[in-house]
Structure 1
Amino acid sequence: MECVIVAGKRSAFGKFGGSLKDFSTVQLSQELMKGVLLNLAIAPEEVQEVNWGVCTQAEAKEVIAPIIARQALLKAGLSPQTISQTIDQACCSGLAALKQSYYSIKRAESEVVLAGGAEVMSRTPMVVPALRWGNRMGHMTIHDPAYGIRYHDFNLVSQDAAEVALEYGIDRNEQDEFAYMSQLNWERANSLGKFKAEIYPLVIEGSKKEVIFDMDEAPRPGTTLQKLASLPTVFDSPTITAGNAPGLSDGACSMVLMKRDTAMEKGITPLAEVMGVASVADDPRNIATVPGRAIQKVLKEANLSIDTVKVIEINEAFAAVPLVSSLVIAEGDKEKAMKIREKMNVNGGAIALGHPVGASGARIVLTLMNELKRQGGGYGVASICGGLAQGEAILIKVDP
């Protein structure tokens, strides 16, 4: 039972408080669900299943059990009989949604599945824990969950990732250099029009006129190594700054997966075949290593080596993550790691274009697939880390 990807679109990614701040997660999700189906030769009611990643679910009007995937698919015009899951696996959510869709097709549970994710981090609500039952005396504290995103009973992710990077011999300067290249690579790809094929333009209602939103907002033209070096570290991290980490972002990404036979019957040419998926987890401190370990696992299961892979995407949760994970894949061989990095994130990554956490796992697969097509096909692998050291990877193949 072969699983293929037949369509994929993403929104342009908005910066925190930017153009997408007034979209609810449900609204943004439904727009991308409709958008990915727009030019596909199937009716919306033919979609049998939706798997959708969202982390900031408290943004929804319902707060408790907002079932964002379900609400969005109904508003997007899909059948009420379409089954769905809203998945929160931190930054892994979008890729976990693709994984679940792959499994559903391989198990013959569904033949047409829509997968992806969305996040509107700009709408993260403030929290007042003591408000419900009152405060006998004194001030109440308003918490901002978007400030220094963390798991309060564990170390800060920015501390763990940076400390492990230093243990791997990756210093602040190398992380800044990687961040600089992320910005340059995005600028180069954008100037060549590479993102036009993957971005679904959104109409934003303005006070005077409609605005078409089709350009990522987060990239920083004019970034220099000197500017990056001048930035202070954040949240007690020894190396991580606002420049070598992605900002808070808004955006969505949607893909359609099918059983290959079904696609052929409908006259739809597959864009890529999903060759395998893999999941890993580790001690929370090792979050920067898990994308590398997930890639090793998915390649081993497919009996392939990293040398057979033409393009690699590792999400830039921090610059430390792809740098450490490339060394993990190379088993500590720095020369081999450098060769891996030459084909990794060639169009920039989250440091440049942003990281709407529920969507990023799907976004890196979409970018990977399109780049493989431009390069004449071949194998590609994408991986992402998520909170407390979870990791997901996917291996795809694009025909020449």
Structure 2
Amino acid sequence: MLERVFIIAAKRTAIGKLSGTLKDVDPVDLAANLFKGILAESQISPDQIEQVHLGCCTHCQANEGVAPVIARQALIKAGMPLSVVSSTVDRACTSGTWAVKVGYDAIRLREADIVLVGGTEVMSRTPHLARGLRSGVRLGAATLEDPLYPLGYKGYEPVAAEVGQVSVEYGVTREMQDAWALRSQTRYQEALKAGKWKQEILPIEVKNKKSTVTFEQDEFPKADTTIESLSSLRTVFGSPTVTAGNAPGLNDGAAAMILVSETRLKELGIKPLAEVLDFEFAGGEPKYMGTVPGTAIKDLLKKNQLTIDQVSCIEINEAFAAVPLLSSIILGNKDDAAIEKIREKINVNGGAVAMGHPVGATGTRIIVTLLYELQRRGGGYGVASLCGGLAQGDAILIKV
């Protein structure tokens, strides 16, 4: 019989803006500090952890550049036993959810009882590339390449362009995306004033050249956002709809959770935060990246014999404002009334357009955000989902 899997601790760092407070922090150290904090707050000691699985999209952000084994380094720095096995996962934006899935599978299959999972990303440390220098440049200047600008894949258009094209196809206008972006910013600020983010953010100490600061509040949100300011922005990278205002930033941050088997949970006598019920995945034509969360959620609910009406809250990562709008069309079967009802359940406290998107960490972050909101509502089913590069989609079903 497969083991049931529970979440007993869930935290994230505050999210930094590009070249902000976290700009010089190695993603290894960021993860290690979060690991130390989440272990200290939980009733789990470092020597009880059996496995660590960590998402990170851009491994060359680490000091080593090549083969940094970020999860391994982080667990050692966090004081876990050297016998703990680990993996560092790169699956683009879905890295953080896949890391959770690896830990979930290990417990379900009785390979481990207590697993630490999460994601870390410091996009500010992404290096520029000078291709060909190893062989030498015979004539002319060497060319520097910025892998962050524009974001995309060789042989394909920039992701912003493709999402914009699909948005036009589905009738998701620029105005709708700007309105969703404003909603995200507004709801984030409402949640901030209500003190909601304090539940999930673990303050960490960050050393800079002059002093040590406590980093405990997201840097990226823009409280003064208006529909007029959003509508004044130009579209980017040839996209018909996407602007800097209705897309997230390039951000820094980490998120982590401790998973435990039902058997060990009973032995420990700890009250869980949530139960992980199932995962589902989807893939599609690369340019349709914005629709795959909807497909993954739809398949997940069908597999578990649930309807969308039975789900209390949904987190869909705002890789662009278009993504929850497109995915809700898939979930609502193009029925306008159903789509609007679904959208009211999505990202009720705002999303990545407001708080930012540290790509390797976001998959875990949206689960952390989801479970705390479900707790505030007295429990129920929740789904977290996001898209990844070249149209991969993950969805996780939890219950509080």
TM-score after normalising by structure 1: 0.98
SS at match of 1:252: strand
Give the deviation of 1:130 after TM superposition: 1.9
Structure 2 distance, partners of 1:161, 1:266, is: 46
Mapped to 1, the partners of 2:233 and 2:170 lie a distance apart of 23
The count of residues paired between Structure 1 and Structure 2 equals 398
Tell me if the contact between 1:260 and 1:270 (Cα under 8 Å) persists in the aligned partners.
no
Identity of aligned residues (%): 50
Find the residue that maps to 2:200 and give its secondary structure.
Answer: coil
- Deviation per residue, 1:293-317 (Å, 9 max, x gap): 1101111111101110000000000
For 1:101 and 1:155, the matched residues in 2 are separated by 34
Q: Does 1:276 align with 2:278?
A: yes
Q: CA deviation at 1:166?
A: 1.2
CA distance in 1, matches of 2:208, 2:173: 45
Q: How does 1:145-160 map to 2 (within 5 A)?
A: 145-160=147-162
Superposed, 1:176-187 pairs within 5 Å as 176-187=178-189
What does 1:82-121 align with in structure 2 at a 5 Å threshold? 82-121=84-123
Q: Given residue 219 of structure 2, which amino acid in structure 1 is its aligned partner?
A: E
Match of 2:80 among 78, 81, 87: 78
Query: What is the correspondence of 1:138-287 to structure 2 with a 5 Å cutoff?
Result: 138-287=140-289
| Matched AA of 2:363 | G
Query: Partner amino acid for 1:149?
Result: L
Alignment partner of 1:85: what SS? strand
Could you list the per-position Cα deviations for residues 125-178 of structure 1 after superposition, in whole angstroms to 9, with x for gaps in the alignment?
011002111111112100111111110121221111111111111100000000
How far did 1:207 drift?
Answer: 4.5
SS in 1 for 2:254: strand
CA distance in 2, matches of 1:264, 1:183: 41
Using the TM superposition, give the Cα deviation of residue 385 of structure 1 relative to its aligned residue in structure 2, in angstroms: 0.3
Moved more, 14-23 or 28-37: 28-37
Secondary structure of 2:320's counterpart equals coil
How far off is 1:63 after superposition? 1.7
DSSP-derived class of the 2:365 partner: helix
How far apart are the structure 2 equivalents of 1:213 and 1:61? 21
The answer to whether the 8 Å contact 1:53/1:359 transfers is yes
Q: Deviations over 1:189-216 (max 9, x none)?
A: 0000001010010112245543211000
For residue 39 of structure 1, what is the aligned residue in structure 2? 41
Q: Does 1:131 align with 2:133?
A: yes
| TM-score under structure 2 length normalisation | 0.98
Amino acid in the other structure paired with 2:168:
L
Give distance in 2, aligned partners of 1:260 and 1:341. Answer: 34
How far off its partner does 1:253 sit? 0.2
1:371 equivalent in structure 2: 373
The C-alpha deviation readout for 1:103-142, integer Å capped at 9, x for no partner, is: 1111111110000100000000011002111111112100
Q: What RMSD over aligned residues (CA atoms) do the two structures have, in Å?
A: 0.9
Encode CA deviations 1:371-399: one digit per residue, 9 max, x unaligned.
0000000000000100000000000000x
Give the stretch that moved more between structures: 51-60 or 198-207.
Answer: 198-207
- One-letter amino acid of the counterpart of residue 311, structure 2: V
Matched with 2:300 is 298
- What is the one-letter code of the residue matched to 2:188? W
Displacement of 1:61 in angstroms is: 2.2
Segments of structure 2 that go 5 or more residues without pairing to the other structure are none
Gap runs ≥5 in structure 1: none
Partner secondary structure for residue 381 of structure 1: strand
Tell whether the 8 Å contact from 1:11 to 1:32 is kept in structure 2 after alignment. Answer: yes
Q: How far apart, in 1, do the equivalents of 2:58 and 2:336 lie? A: 38
Cα deviation 1:248-298 (Å, max 9, x = unaligned): 000000100000221121121110001100111111011011000110111
Alpha-carbon displacement from aligned partner over 1:2-59 (angstroms, at most 9, x marks no partner): 1000001100000000000111011001011111111211210111011100011012
